[in-house]
Chain A
Amino acid sequence: KAGVTQTPRYLIKTRGQQVTLSCSPISGHRSVSWYQQTPGQGLQFLFEYFSETQRNKGNFPGRFSGRQFSNSRSEMNVSTLELGDSALYLCASSTGLAGYNEQFFGPGTRLTVL
């Protein structure tokens, strides 16, 4: 079974631009979560989607948004990029049926904002 895939793996943007990251979950998984990982703040939850609906949202500004498609693939968008948005963005998928279900993580997209 193929794992969680994220594209692109690396991205360089400049301040003020916007970016879209993509995540393809494991086949059959209906839940996709996004996390931001930085050296200073660690791993922080961004949001979670289940069957195209956002079920949970972390404490991030409105510049961070996401969506999920009918095939469970998900995208997250960051508008008006700031230097502090430089991070590894991790996507995770699960069956989404309970909070104790294992989340399977992708390799991440490393975003650098110059």
Chain B
Amino acid sequence: AQSVTQLGSHVSVSEGALVLLRCNYSSSVPPYLFWYVQYPNQGLQLLLKYTSAATLVKGINGFEAEFKKSETSFHLTKPSAHMSDAAEYFCAVSPGANDYKLSFGAGTTVTVRA
């Protein structure tokens, strides 16, 4: 079964500093990978997705992620954190084109210090 592991349940960064959220996946076939963000009392919003077109994926709000097959990783980064980036972030995997369920990681809460 496909799954994702997010390293670090809580990350604290200073405003303007690099944001790095780690996600590793396990999959017997090339997966489809996603990063979602959840603000308090809201649903999930897609930041970006990997569907094998390019290993470096750019998303919304200045986020990007790099798919590394050799490391089975899909880490999310943002060069300069903003206060509005404070939220919970989820990495998710969809095993294949004909599988329509998402398996989510446990989530990483990001706190941004002024």
Residues of chain A having any CB pair with chain B under 8 Å: 4, 31, 33, 35, 42-45, 48, 50, 55-56, 58, 90, 92, 94, 96, 98-100, 102-108
Contacts and interface: CB of A to CB of B under 8 A. Distances in A.
Nearest to B95: A99
Contact of A56 (B36, B45, B46, B99): B99
Contact of B41 (A43, A55, A103, A107): A107
18 contacts: A35-B104, A42-B106, A44-B104, A45-B102, A48-B100, A50-B100, A56-B99, A90-B43, A99-B32, A99-B97, A99-B99, A100-B94, A103-B102, A105-B36, A107-B41, A107-B42, A108-B42, A108-B43
B100 A99 contact: yes
Nearest to A98: B97
B100 A96 contact: yes
Interface string B77-114: 00000000000001010111111111111110000000
A100 B104 CA distance: 14
Given A99-B32, A100-B94, A55 B104 contact: no
Q: Which 8 A-B pairs have the closest CB atoms?
A: A105-B43, A43-B104, A100-B32, A99-B94, A105-B44, A45-B101, A100-B51, A99-B99
Given A4-B43, A92-B44, A100-B51, 16 more contacts: A31-B100, A33-B102, A42-B104, A42-B107, A43-B92, A43-B102, A48-B100, A56-B99, A90-B44, A99-B96, A99-B97, A100-B49, A100-B97, A102-B46, A102-B49, A108-B42
